Amino acid sequence: MNFIALIFTAFALSMDAFAVSITKGMTIKNLKKSTALKMALAFGVFQGAMPLLGWALGISFESYIKSIDHWIAFILLGFIGFNMIKGFFDDRKEENASELEFSATTDVDDLSNKEIIMLAVATSIDALAVGISFAFLNVSIIPAASIICIITFLVCVVGVFVGNKVGDIFNGYAELVGGIILILIGFNIFNEHTQVLSKIFNSLF
């Protein structure tokens, strides 16, 4: 694999993390640079570490990993997305009907380290399988993983700040929209591996 191909691979792998960064950026009030960097760093580290892990596991575990990776991403993103939607409706119930006032985003403290790690794992699962393919292609894994890590970090920094600006547009519904988007991302990853939509479409038509 040449350098250009590796760069494109890194950008492709970072797209799920980029989408999630935008989504979480939408729901953070008074976004601090340290928060954006923490999220992007977590996403970058996991995105870079997963190819290393996949490369180390080797071909003997390839079929097993491919059989469960989409389920892990689907469950983690679905769980977090559901909690965001639930939190949105819980907040609405607690507000006084006569003084209903929505804030555009949630408190930055609501974004826990646990949630960041769960999101980082969910969005980096595909990189595990890519790491296995690197073993077949005799790719130098350390430089490859480093490039994936750096590109994901940079992409996610941009994503968080873009999402934070976009969050104002939704005026109080950012958490609801964000939760829905996370669930859709999880389903998209699941569908890419299982082609469930194509199977349903073919069965109907």
Q: Residue 33: pLDDT band by 50, 70, 90 thresholds? A: confident
pTM for this prediction: 0.68
Give the up-direction half-sphere exposure of residue 93: CA atoms within 13 A in the CB hemisphere. 6
Residue 124 contacts residue 54 (beta carbons within 8 Å): no
Distance CA 16, CA 73 (A): 10
CB neighbours of residue 65 within 10 Å: 17
| Cα diameter, the chain | 65
Beta bridge partners of 28: 106
Q: What is the pLDDT of residues 180-204, one digit of tens each?
A: 876 887 777 777 777 776 677 667 6
Question: Taking all residues of the chain, what is their mean pLDDT, rounded to a whole number?
Answer: 77
Q: What is the pLDDT of residues 128-178, one digit of tens each?
A: 878 877 776 777 889 999 999 999 999 999 999 888 887 666 555 666 776
The gap from C-alpha 36 to its chain's centroid, in whole angstroms, comes to 14
